[in-house]
């Protein structure tokens, strides 16, 4: 059934205008963004298919992790609609992060650091390396994605890390990266790199607080492991 052939009370646009977006289901909200259907599938059908791509794992959270080819695998989702949906996911991620950053969060605990990055990083197919930079009051100045590597290697060097730390006048920092395998256990290379950065930080008076590795619903803090 086409949306225009549905009763007024059931149409997502009309429901949103009448009751507010908070009353709509995930499928209805997504159908409004999609706007139009394709042949025998209306926008509600397409929205349901998108939410089912990662079913039963993520549902609406799948929008944060789906690629353009995955979206375009659905008949009726072309490049334009796919890119629009990717942008919706990215906007949602940025809004959430901005909200978190505006709260008086303390990143002294590894769990807080892990929670901050977990949803972003746990589904990534490549290693990503971030640095969190702090001022003298332990307030987060900036978090920077320093590199995006291969399946098992995030390409980051102490030189690149300290260039950013000095640029933003940071006095301390936390390193964060993910393991696409889902196992957050630090590799030999992780440990060696962390110790090199710690030693360089001592010389430059920029304290390395921790290195947190993100896995699938898990993390490892090198500080808690006694590796720092």
Alpha-carbon span 205 to 26, nearest angstrom? 49
Give the pLDDT confidence of 62-92 residue by residue, as tens digits: 777 788 898 899 888 999 999 999 898 888 8
For residues 91-120, give the mean pLDDT. Answer: 76
The residue ranges of every structural domain in the chain are 3-98, 106-221
Alpha-carbon span 94 to 88, nearest angstrom? 10
> Which two three-digit tokens encode residue 29?
């909200």
Residues 14-53 as b/e (b if ≥16 CB within 10 A, e otherwise) read ebbeeeeeeebeebbbbbbbbeebbeebbbbbbbbbbbeb
CB hemisphere CA count around 153 (13 angstroms): 6
203 Rama sector, left if φ>0, alpha if ψ -120 to 50, beta otherwise: alpha
pLDDT band at 99 (very low <50, low <70, confident <90, very high): low
Give the pLDDT confidence of 110-136 residue by residue, as tens digits: 998 988 888 777 667 788 899 999 999
Evaluate whether the domain defined by 106-221 bears CATH number 3.40.140.10: yes
> Which two three-digit tokens encode residue 148?
């995006």
> What local confidence, expressed as pLDDT, does residue 5 receive?
74
pTM over 0.95: no
> What local confidence, expressed as pLDDT, does residue 56 receive?
46
> What local confidence, expressed as pLDDT, does residue 10 receive?
79
For residues 215-227, give the mean pLDDT. Answer: 91
> Which two three-digit tokens encode residue 1?
């059934």
């Amino acid at each position: 059934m086409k949306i225009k052939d549905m009763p007024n009370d059931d149409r997502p646009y009309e429901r949103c205008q009448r009751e507010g977006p908070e009353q709509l289901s995930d499928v209805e909200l997504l159908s409004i963004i999609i706007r139009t259907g394709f042949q025998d599938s209306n926008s509600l059908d397409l929205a349901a298919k998108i939410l089912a791509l990662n079913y039963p794992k993520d549902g609406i959270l799948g929008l944060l992790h789906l690629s353009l080819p995955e979206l375009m695998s659905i008949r009726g989702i072309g490049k334009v609609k796919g890119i629009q949906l990717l942008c919706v996911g990215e906007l949602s991620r940025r809004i959430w992060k901005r909200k978190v950053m505006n709260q008086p969060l303390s990143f002294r605990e590894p769990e807080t650091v892990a929670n901050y990055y977990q949803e972003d990083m746990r589904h990534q197919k490549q290693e990503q390396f971030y640095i969190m930079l702090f001022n003298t009051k332990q307030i987060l100045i900036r978090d920077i994605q320093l590199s995006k590597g291969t399946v098992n290697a995030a390409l980051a060097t102490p030189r690149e890390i300290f260039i950013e730390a000095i640029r933003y006048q940071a006095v301390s920092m936390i390193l964060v990266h993910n393991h696409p395998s889902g196992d957050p256990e630090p590799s030999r290379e992780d440990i060696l790199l962390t110790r090199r950065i710690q030693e360089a930080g001592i010389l430059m008076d920029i304290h390395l607080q921790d290195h947190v590795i993100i896995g699938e619903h898990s993390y490892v803090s090198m500080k808690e492991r006694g590796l720092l």
